[in-house]
């Protein structure tokens, strides 16, 4: 009888320990999953900060010639413009690969994209317009001028220091993400953003 009682106590104790262990294990897993979701949201919020804004003011000259009567006459129209532009440079965040390993409490960032021109807002001031009686500026001409001015500014941006600033800011942001992750006991594995200036991706006008 005593043996059965002792055996029952041992089984009950073992069962209680198993239930307790299962409870805490599941609770820890839920906590890790909650942490991973929170970290993912925080990383995305921080990544949205990786943008660089620059302002440009450039003089742009447009020249268009039209030949008449088998090139016997040439009609020329010219325009001198002052192009003021606000340019936004950043990263396509949808291309960043974020992988979270709850078992090892590790976050991996990879496939960090090159910085690209996100937007170009231009304001044109027509400083000097010369046109002939026949060869006039049409609405289509003005639309083309706007497009050419954006292409002109884009070329200026690609040779400016803004691309490098965006890359440096991206590395600073990765360091900030690392501090955020390590503050909750996790580890970040990340590819460093290349510091050599490469040709940025382009957007359509």
Given a contact cutoff of 8 angstroms between Cβ atoms, the answer to whether 154 and 201 are in contact is no
Q: Give the H/E segment covering residue 65.
A: strand 51-68
Sequence-distant contacts of 134-138: CB under 8 A, at least 24 apart: 134/66, 134/68, 134/75, 135/64, 135/66, 135/75, 135/76, 135/77, 136/77, 137/77, 137/79
Report pLDDT for 103. Answer: 83
DSSP string, 138-150: -HHHHHHHHHHHH
Beta-carbon contacts of 65 under 8 Å, excluding residues fewer than 6 positions away, are 74, 75, 76
Report pLDDT for 8. Answer: 47
pTM exceeds cut of 0.75: no
Please list the residues that pair with 123 across neighbouring strands: 84
Structure tokens at 103: 């078992």
Q: Map tokens 């073992």 to a residue.
A: 14
Strand, helix or coil for residue 196: coil
DSSP for residue 124: E
**Number of residues that this document lists for the chain:** 205
**Domain-located, residue 195:** no
**Domain-located, residue 53:** yes
Residue 126 main-chain phi, psi, to 5 deg: -80, 100
Q: Give 10-residue mean pLDDT values along the chain (205 residues).
A: 48 48 49 67 68 86 63 65 88 79 85 84 75 60 82 88 86 83 86 53 42
Strand, helix or coil for residue 64: strand
**Domain-located, residue 9:** yes
**Domain-located, residue 205:** no
Burial, 143: exposed, middle or buried (Cβ in 10 Å; 0-12, 13-18, 19+)? exposed
Q: How many helices (H) and strands (E) does the chain have?
A: 3, 6
**Domain-located, residue 129:** yes
Q: How many domains does the chain have?
A: 1
Domain that holds residue 83: 2-190
**Domain-located, residue 76:** yes
**Domain-located, residue 197:** no
Give strand ranges (E) for 91-115. Answer: 97-101, 106-110
Report pLDDT for 198. Answer: 43
**Domain-located, residue 204:** no
């Amino acid at each position: 009888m005593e043996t059965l009682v002792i055996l029952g106590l041992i089984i009950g104790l073992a069962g209680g320990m198993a239930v307790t262990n299962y409870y805490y294990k599941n609770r820890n897993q839920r906590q890790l999953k909650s942490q991973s979701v929170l970290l993912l949201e925080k990383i995305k919020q921080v990544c949205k900060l990786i943008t660089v804004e620059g302002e440009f003011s450039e003089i742009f000259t447009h020249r268009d010639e039209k030949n008449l009567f088998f090139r016997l006459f040439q009609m020329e129209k010219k325009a001198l413009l002052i192009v003021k532009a606000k340019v936004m440079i950043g990263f396509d965040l949808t291309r960043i690969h974020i992988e979270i390993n709850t078992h090892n409490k590790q976050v991996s960032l990879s496939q960090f994209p090159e910085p690209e021109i996100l937007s170009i807002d231009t304001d044109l001031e027509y400083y000097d317009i010369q046109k002939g009686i026949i060869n006039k500026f049409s609405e289509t001409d003005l639309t083309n001028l706007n497009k050419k001015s954006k292409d002109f500014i884009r070329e200026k941006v690609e040779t400016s220091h803004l691309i490098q600033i965006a890359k440096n800011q991206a590395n600073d942001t990765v360091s900030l993400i690392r501090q955020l992750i390590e503050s909750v006991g996790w580890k970040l594995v990340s590819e460093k953003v290349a510091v050599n200036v490469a040709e940025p991706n382009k957007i359509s006008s």
